[in-house]
A and B are shown apart, each in its own frame.
Chain A
């Protein structure tokens, strides 16, 4: 299964919303997670099972979708959200990551 993320780079002003997309080459049901990776840090889990927020993740991060189309929305973007965001399917072996969307702050 191939996970395709778009756009590759997203430039958003503080306070605005950012919408990141992830498409699976075949259905992965709702078995998708989203991770945030800040420069020089390991990835951090944001969303699992497509829509469930991980522990201590603010409500402004939300996930949606099922099947082959998934979305991560960051509401009220903050400068601290500068990072690369990866989607990940764990419905089938081999598990697969998307190539990432880099979120830049305008």
Chain B
């Protein structure tokens, strides 16, 4: 069974940082591009970042203004999202999700998410 498990979320003050992690199992992790997608409370889905299977190609949403960094460790079967200079509007459930159909394909499956709350 394909599984994605996120961790690393929490309560952080504005301007703070977090490192989100996502571990994959049940599939050949190194063969797939991966994504982070977030969902603010009561709102819709917002794509955050994608990373190719080798890590050589990375894309970010323009709205992040360079504050987020996606990376991966295929030996550890993990993808990470470092989030810096956090703002109130970054409060969201952050999902890790696998790309199908190559980099920039459809997304399946999704993890359960890790909650990030930015508040003083």
Contacts and interface: CB of A to CB of B under 8 A. Distances in A.
A contact residues, range: 20 to 34
B44 A100 contact: yes
A95 interface: yes
- Interface SS of chain B: strand
Contacts of A97: 37, 44-47
B59 interface: yes
B112 interface: yes
Contacts of A48: 100-101, 105-106, 108
Contacts of B101: 48-49, 90
B27 to A, nearest CB: 13
B104 interface: yes
Given A94-B47, A95-B47, A33 B95 contact: no
Interface of A: 33, 35, 37, 42-45, 48-49, 54, 84, 86, 88, 90-91, 93-100
Interface of B: 37, 44-47, 50, 59, 61-62, 95, 100-101, 104-113
